[in-house]
Amino acid sequence: MALIETLHLAAGFSFSIPDSRAALLFQHGAFVRPLAPGRYRLWQGGHQVVQYDLRIQQVITQGQDVLTSDQVALKISTVLLYRVADALVSYRAVADPAATLYVEVQLALRELVGSTTSEDFLKSKSSHGAALLEALRPRAAALGLEIERVEIRDVMLPPELKKAFMAALQQRQEANASLEKARAETAAIRTLANAAKLMRDHPELLQLRYLQTLGEIGAGKATTLVLGLTESDKLASKVQSGI
């Protein structure tokens, strides 16, 4: 069903207004009164009934090139949801509310994009819907319309800018990976330094670790261990002393 439908009625013709529509009654071109939902029969001629669909409608602006303040052309599309708030105001203000609203969205989008750089626009993409909504509400009210929601749907970058952004993103990811690697190495060195300090302050920990290592090595099959080669002199002295 179209947003606006007009009925030209002959005398005695009956018609119905559904509750999803607002209707305006005219006679010989002059406004008579609004019509509530229900069934009607008009006995005189020259009547005209204009009906407005009150359900939520949508306006989708296809991708259009819009220049940012740093002269970068972004191709942007938007989606807007609206409804008719005042049928009589809309009737007297504009012949095609949807087409007029489409143009208003384009103008508001150009104002928004033209006031910021391409980098700032892309960084705060999620907040642009609220800015557009604030800019469009008074314009829509003058057309007898109420905007429910407006959002940026798609943003397409020029090929050269897209390549630059991808290169910058890759460099950022590589830098983050290098930073994480450096942090991990620093943490490992700090752990080793703490372990060395503990063993220096508590020599028995080194002996325990030594025994633990021997146990881990000896757990394997067909393992031969040669121990104490560097301590032979000390062992010999201990044996000679009867220890």
Is the pLDDT higher at 126 or at 214?
126
In terms of C-beta density within 10 A (0-12 exposed, 13-18 middle, 19 or more buried), how is residue 176 classed?
A: exposed
In sequence order, what are the residues at sequence separation of 6 or more whose Cβ sits closer than 8 angstroms to the Cβ of residue 156? 63, 74, 75, 76
- Residue 181 and residue 176: Cα distance in Å, rounded? 9
- Residue 86 and residue 105: Cα distance in Å, rounded? 20
Q: Is the pLDDT of residue 132 over 90?
A: yes
May I ask the CATH architecture of the domain 57-157?
Answer: 2-Layer Sandwich (3.30)
Maximum average pLDDT range among 158-167, 180-189, 229-238: 180-189
C-beta of residue 14 within 8 angstroms of C-beta of residue 41: yes
Quickly count: other Cβ atoms within 10 Å of residue 127's Cβ.
10
Q: Is the pLDDT of residue 153 over 70?
A: yes
| pTM for the model | 0.64
In terms of C-beta density within 10 A (0-12 exposed, 13-18 middle, 19 or more buried), how is residue 128 classed?
A: buried
Using 50, 70 and 90 to split pLDDT, how confident is the model at 242? very low
Listed by start position, the domains of the chain span 4-53, 57-157
Query: Residue 35 has what pLDDT?
Result: 94
Q: pLDDT, tens digit, for every residue of 9-55?
A: 887 888 899 999 999 999 998 999 999 999 999 888 889 999 999 99
CA distances from 31 to 24, 27, 48 (A): 7, 7, 9
Q: pLDDT, tens digit, for every residue of 200-220?
A: 777 776 667 666 776 666 666
